[in-house]
Amino acid sequence: MDIFGLLTMIGGLALFLYGMDTMGAGLAKLSGGKLEQILARLTANRFAAVLLGVFVTAVIQSSSATTVMVVGFVNSGIMQLGQAVGIIMGANVGTTLTAWLLSLTGMEGSGFLVKMFKPSSFSPILAAIGIVMIMTAKDNNRKKDVGNILVGFAILMFGMQTMSGAVAPLAENEQFTALLTRFSNPVLGIIAGTVLTAVIQSSSASVGILQALCATGAVPYGAAIPIIMGQNIGTCATTLLSSMGASRNARRASMIHLYFNLIGTAVFITAFYGIEYHLGGFVFTGQAANAAGIALIHSAFNVGAVVLLYPFAGLLVKLAERTVPDKPDEEQKEPDELAILDERFLEKPAFAMELCRSAAVMMAERAREALTAALETLWSYDKEKADAVLRTEEQVDHYEDVLGTYLVKLNNCDLSGEDSRSLSVLLHCMSDFERISDHAVNIAEAAGRMDSRKLAFSKRATEEVAVFTRAVQDIVDMTLGAFANGDLETAKHVEPLEEVIDELKIEVRQRHIKRLRKGKCTIELGLVLEDIITDFERVADHCSNIAVCMLRVSEDDFETHEYLDVLKAEQAEWFRSEFTALAKQYALPEKTEKSDKSDKSDKKQEKKAEKKRKEKQRE
């Protein structure tokens, strides 16, 4: 082979690896994270876990990706170590599908159907269809993902053919033939296969390279078999590297993967060469290997290893536990809910996005818990409950820090249009959840001041605050329900209630001023009341921000206050009707007609000032 042949081979290898990566990425995006979600949940039955590992790996075309995901699941506590064994076994079988697809390059025959099944015939067709789908996809990301899969597969096959054609002249090279013959030594063959796979981080790719070399006709089965065994061991390198710095169980999961392939290889090699020695040698070991033969050996080994080691799955777990033992003096850490945001999952952005949604919903629930507890302290102050509000608020702050950092990293990944919009919503809404919990702390502190100073609202003020409290609790429940379920219809009903709460703040304030003038309330208690109703109104503002963010991201990229103007203008009749009904539902206790008239002028001025303040705050 001259320098130009070498360059052609390198180019073919580059196309081959790129095509494999593109196809795998397209398949993963097309699944939208659903495969990974199934992988994380349906693993109680070990046999079902094996089948699931086969299926998922066959779809995403990478056993390394599957096992790395498993390490991430174990590390975050989603999956137990015993559950991981079945998936790891199934992943080794699922990865053999790629070798069968690549074996199509070795098809021979002159019939029309045989020619059509050759990659040189159907790959250009798939590439053309894929390119058309990508160019016409526009906002249809699913269509674009399918196009990427087709183009990736076509590039993969073209790269395979290019490699095969480039190495074909080596069939007559005695030095190359002599080199391959040396790999008939099991030790050298296993080492070669292990190193090659560890370097390129993919057993499917290394098997494909071996299949391309088989096109020269200079690779005997006697050399190919040990290399294949080594390739199965080499694929463990990705998992071992992934588990570095992870939890003890995550490292154990990577060791299970390694032991599965090491034990399987040891048994297979011992049995194969033992039988060959007693029979005086197999005839086929000296014959030239072909692509289909490589695929068959690869599948036979992995299926056989699963059949052999499946009954001893528990022993694999114990062996891994012995290898990575517990430390008796090490303190047991409490599980962190945010451990699910493992950076290993960033390799599968669609699944990582689902995890972020779940974490954001948990953050929202914590904010609601803090607010609910704070509202309870207004009516029956409890120091322990007030302290619990503060602890919950600290948890919400922790969620904001961890989830925000993870989302920023995820934003740099290749996200679909839908996931990109979801990420934008989460980033915008996190600060609102955190602020709701902050206001919960303020409310609890206000209740604490009232308790320490022996202050109490009058009967009328208590009734008014109770109505206000009910409205705030309802808007928070409505907003969080809409956010958790992605319910845009419910989100539309948040803004009318927020307008009602604005009216409540103004009216409660005016009534308080009236009582203050009559000497029925003290300035000190009035300051506490002002703080409480301000926090109530701010909580409603943040609920409005969350709902509006959900709506405007799904429709158009309006500014928040601009979107509200559009919403009220386009649905004016509905909005007024909804507002009127809610105003009656959350009406304050009746006032006298005389006091009602005296408040109208002040209330009008207060509404104007409040509107200006809200617009300035939103800007």
More confident residue, 191 or 17: 191
CA-CA distance, 365 to 277, in Å (whole number)? 67
Q: How confident is the model at residue 60 (pLDDT cuts 50, 70, 90)?
A: confident
CA-CA distance, 396 to 399, in Å (whole number)? 5
Instruction: Share the mean pLDDT of the chain.
Output: 82
User: What is the structure's pLDDT at 248?
Assistant: 87
CB count, 10 Å around CB of 298? 28
User: What is the structure's pLDDT at 278?
Assistant: 81
Q: Is the pLDDT of residue 132 over 70?
A: yes
What is the DSSP secondary structure assignment for residue 106, as one 8-state letter? G
Q: How confident is the model at residue 569 (pLDDT cuts 50, 70, 90)?
A: low
Q: Is the pLDDT of residue 405 over 90?
A: yes
Q: Which of 139-143, 488-492, 508-512, 592-596 has the lowest mean pLDDT?
A: 592-596
User: What is the structure's pLDDT at 538?
Assistant: 94
All structural domains of the chain, each given as residue ranges with its CATH number in brackets, are 3-323 (no CATH), 348-454 (1.20.58.220), 457-619 (no CATH)
CA-CA distance, 125 to 528, in Å (whole number)? 74
CA-CA distance, 258 to 71, in Å (whole number)? 13
Q: What is the pTM of this model?
A: 0.75
CA-CA distance, 479 to 360, in Å (whole number)? 13
The β-bridge partners of 220 are 288
The arithmetic mean of pLDDT across residues 576-591, rounded, is 86
User: What is the structure's pLDDT at 339?
Assistant: 79
Q: Is the pLDDT of residue 443 over 90?
A: yes
Q: Tell whether the torsion through CA atoms of 317, 295, 300 and 183 is positive or negative.
A: negative
Q: Is the pLDDT of residue 617 over 60?
A: no
Structure tokens at 610: 């409040």
Residues 463-487 have pLDDT tens digits of 889 999 999 999 999 999 999 998 9
User: What is the structure's pLDDT at 593?
Assistant: 45
User: What is the structure's pLDDT at 453?
Assistant: 86
User: What is the structure's pLDDT at 109?
Assistant: 55
User: Which of 197-211, 510-524, 539-553 has the highest average model confidence (pLDDT)?
Assistant: 539-553
Q: Is the pLDDT of residue 494 over 80?
A: yes
Q: How confident is the model at residue 595 (pLDDT cuts 50, 70, 90)?
A: very low
CA-CA distance, 433 to 314, in Å (whole number)? 44
The β-bridge partners of 56 are none
Structure tokens at 88: 């790891």
The arithmetic mean of pLDDT across residues 79-95, rounded, is 87
430-433 long-range contacts (CB < 8 A, ≥24 apart) are 430/360, 430/363, 430/399, 430/400, 430/403, 430/404, 431/400, 432/542, 432/543, 432/545, 432/546, 433/360, 433/363, 433/364, 433/367, 433/396, 433/399, 433/400, 433/542, 433/546
Structure tokens at 401: 């820090």
* Residue 600 CB partners (closer than 8 Å, separation 6+): none
The arithmetic mean of pLDDT across residues 275-290, rounded, is 81
User: What is the structure's pLDDT at 387?
Assistant: 93
SS (H, E, C) 487-548: CHHHHCCHHHHHHHHHHHHHHHHHHHHHHHHCCCCCHHHHHHHHHHHHHHHHHHHHHHHHHH
